[in-house]
A and B are shown apart, each in its own frame.
Chain A
Amino acid sequence: LGIHFDHIWQKTLTVLNPMKPADGSIMNETDLTGPILFCVALGATLLLAGKVQFGYVYGLSAIGCLVIHALLNLMSSSGVSYGCVASVLGYCLLPMVILSGCAMFFSLQGTFGIVSSLVIIGWCSLSASKIFISALDMEGQQLLVAYPCALLYGLFALLTIF
């Protein structure tokens, strides 16, 4: 079927460890299996927390991918394909799934919820920007790439919290 489980696992590990520098070749295969899995997991955990918002999740991810794809094409010297952007953003959605999993057990609207969602947003966007700049070879632009990713994941977090 073309699904390489060890590749998926390797990419997941890269996402889970945002401090370790990524190597640029892992994104040579654009596979959307992992991301779709994570999106469905996010929708499922939201459902279990009582919010039926599948449409918003998919719509938001589509628009966000489009905007970040346009931005990365303009900012980097080499272009990037839409599948690659969707794949990276989808993998980095994993910490958000963890956050909405926590939302099932306790409400996130207090201070602890806000602080933990800020931490998770930072985690997601740091790993996404780390993968992007290593794959696209953009120096000095990590924070610039991280900011729009942070906005996108912030919207996901808003969906999770409210």
Chain B
Amino acid sequence: MAYHSGYGAHGSKHRARAAPDPPPLFEDTSGGYSSQPGGYPAPGADVAFSVNHLLGDPMANVAMAYGSSIASHGKDMVHKELHRFVSVNKLKYFFAVDSAYVAKKLGLLVFPYTHQNWEVQYSRDVPLPPRQDLNAPDLYIPTMAFITYVLLAGMALGIQKRFSPEVLGLCASTALVWVVMEVLALLLGLYLATVRSDLSTFHLLAYSGYKYVGMILSVLTGLLFGSDGYYVALAWTSSALMYFIVRSLRTAALGPDSVGGPVPRQRLQLYLTLGAAAFQPLIIYWLTFHLVR
């Protein structure tokens, strides 16, 4: 399934993901001031001819035409390499969110106990996008939560006068490394348990990214109310997150033929889910306690 081909995907998560170059929706009428994205040498040469008057140098327009063709060539190469690792359409599914979904999902992450129906809904074998289905995972919330966490860490350290740009970079890369390791561990676990499920790498990335919301809340309460508030918020968000993950992944990880599956395999899958869930509070604690003293 998708998770075999997705090994390289998480590495590029925080680098720029460019969509394939769309047909130019926005005409570039600003003369020579901005380089035309994906332009052919011809517009570059037009600009060059007008500049020719100023420079009075025939070599300049050849150089500019060559330069812009090299730039567009480089851009195409980058796109091609990117498309080998990341399937942009699959990724777009995870970002098809709207404000109502985000609000409800955040509420669910903080208080999942009253939600009844955890099944992801399908329409003709294709999972519904997050706009239409509250239970579908998305990558907008984890990405934003991660960035907010890094900035909040910087701010918390700044308040405690321990800030320097290197520390910010250290925080960001530590968190990133933990995310990557956790996704790899989950992938390995799913592979060993030979579960055929619909969980691609992006799904796992989404679920392991949801804990950043809990981390942000814990750090905020810790900053506002001192370390007692921090421990209370930590306990609450950890238990809410564990409940959320167990309920969501139980249906997703079991796969289509789980009901009549052999018992040891089912137990293995259960252990996998519980292990993943139990691991979350440890990571949350590890990544935040040094911010709240």
Enumerate chain A interface residues (CB-CB to B < 8 A).
1-3, 27-33, 66-67, 69-71, 73-75, 78-84, 139-144, 147-148, 151, 154-155, 162
Contact = CB atoms under 8 A, between A and B. Distances in A.
Given A144-B97, A151-B147, A84 B26 contact: yes
Interface in B31-65: 31-35, 37
B30 A30 contact: yes
Given A148-B147, A151-B151, A75 B27 contact: no
B91 A74 contact: yes
B101 to A, nearest CB: 9
B70 interface: no
B144 interface: yes
B95 interface: yes
B33 A3 contact: yes
Given A3-B33, A162-B158, A74 B26 contact: no
B24 interface: yes
Contacts of B91: 74
Contacts of B25: 78-81
A29 B22 contact: no
B32 A2 contact: yes
Interface of B: 16-22, 24-35, 37, 88, 91-92, 94-100, 102, 140, 143-144, 147-148, 151, 158
A2 B30 contact: yes
B16 A32 contact: no
Contacts of A33: 30, 33
A18 to B, nearest CB: 17
A78 B26 contact: no
Given A2-B30, A154-B151, A162-B158, A70 B16 contact: yes
Contacts of A30: 26, 28, 30, 34
Q: Mostly helix, strand, loop or mixed at chain B's interface?
A: loop
A75 B147 contact: no
A144 B98 contact: yes
**Interface residues of A: mostly helix, strand, loop or mixed?**
helix
B22 A78 contact: yes
Contacts of A142: 99
Nearest to B94: A74
22 contacts: A3-B30, A30-B30, A30-B34, A31-B30, A31-B33, A69-B16, A71-B95, A71-B143, A74-B94, A75-B95, A78-B25, A79-B19, A79-B21, A81-B26, A83-B26, A83-B35, A139-B98, A144-B97, A148-B147, A151-B148, A151-B151, A155-B151
Listed from nearest, the 9 A-B pairs whose CB atoms lie closest are A2-B31, A79-B22, A140-B98, A31-B30, A73-B19, A74-B95, A29-B29, A79-B19, A143-B99
A141 to B, nearest CB: 5
Nearest to B88: A74
Residue in B29, B88, B151 whose Cβ sees the most chain A Cβ within 10 Å: B29
Given A2-B33, A70-B17, A83-B37, A141 B92 contact: no
A73 B21 CA distance: 10
Given A81-B24, A83-B35, 8 more contacts: A2-B33, A29-B26, A70-B17, A75-B97, A79-B22, A81-B26, A141-B99, A144-B140
B99 A29 contact: no
B27 A28 contact: yes
A31 B27 CA distance: 10
A29 B30 contact: yes
B27 A29 contact: yes
A45 to B, nearest CB: 22
Contacts of A69: 16, 18
Interface core residue of B34, B92, B140, B158 (most chain A CB under 10 Å): B34
